[in-house]
Amino acid sequence: MAFNPDTYIQAGATGLAYSGLAQGIWLSFRVLNLPDLTVAGSLAVGGAVSGILITAAGWQPLATLPVALLVGMLAGLATGLLHTKLKINALLASILVMTGLYTITLRVMSIGAAGGIRSELSLYNGTEAQLRDLLAWLPLSVQQRSAIIMAAIAIVLTLLLYWLMSSQLGLAMRATGVNEQMARSVGINTDNMKMLLLAVSNGMVAVSGALVAQNNSYTDANVGNTAIVVGLAAVILGEVVVRSAAVGWALIGALLGSVIYHIAVQIALAQQVQVTDTQLVTALLVIFALALPQIGGQFKRLGQRRSTANLPTHQRGRLGEDAD
């Protein structure tokens, strides 16, 4: 198969569109330490809301992003309310909301449909429905224009999220995730922090769903089925690339991990791997990312043993005494 750079540029653009999913999952899993499956429903409903506003109401793509953000935040808030106020287990609460969001997604996508319920929606409604056509005046390919716009939006969203997590409110949310009892002892309303962080997390994921739909000019109600796996793969890959626990670097790592993941999948597909096997590719990527620190440690220890073996006998004994 001939090498086509635009194919990988498009994969990078897709990764940038999915970066909000990775960052949202990072917020819930790494900051709040809560397993939140709501993101699967938030991704789908974000794409559905954006798609129906573009095709049925004639909105410009960028104008639909705040609406997708609001819908996603409401979904996260619902999970937070079930968990904090009704004392339902966080995992079960997120599953319940995710299940309900599937029906909501179908209903949203069926607005204006003559044939009743529909689970698929094409966003192609003339050139105005495609976000990348904002840069139609540039002498670039469609894939390159798409990558530029997705990169600009991803950077803006990352900066806004970094500003929030670095504020006093963000510090309170992070404190809740680190030590809820300690946070409560200093006057932080941990229930409110949980609800807010889940809302922000799912808001980011819903915006990601809207961007994915706009980037593909297509969405369906089942787009969230692989959201957890894809998002976790991006987070783990990002943590391997960017080894820092600082919020800013962690957010950048999630973004880069999303891009790396989708380019890696595209490389696999270029090797004649079937599209249906991408789940296996994802699993192998995650395993490799998780094992990489251990593999690196093994190589480091092997190098130390070889260096020690080359030392004179009396220096080896002294080195062993120092280690003791």
Cα angle, residue 18 at apex, residues 179 and 193 outer, rounded to 5°? 25
Task: Return the closest-CA partner of residue 53 out of 1, 139, 2, 125.
Answer: 125
Domain boundaries, the chain: 5-272, 276-324
- Torsion sign (Cα): 28, 32, 35, 36: negative
Q: Which fold has domain 5-272?
A: ABC transporter involved in vitamin B12 uptake, BtuC (1.10.3470)
> What separation, in Å, do the N-terminal and C-terminal C-alpha atoms of the chain show?
57
Helix (H) or strand (E) holding 220: strand 218-220
Rounded to whole angstroms, the Cα distance separating 161 from 174 reads 13
In the prediction, which pLDDT does 291 show? 79
Q: Average pLDDT of each block of 10 consecutive residues along the chain (324 residues)? A: 76 93 93 91 95 88 94 96 94 95 93 77 61 71 85 94 94 92 92 95 96 89 86 88 87 93 85 74 77 69 66 55 50
Q: Provide the pLDDT for residue 128.
A: 44
Identity of residue 36: D
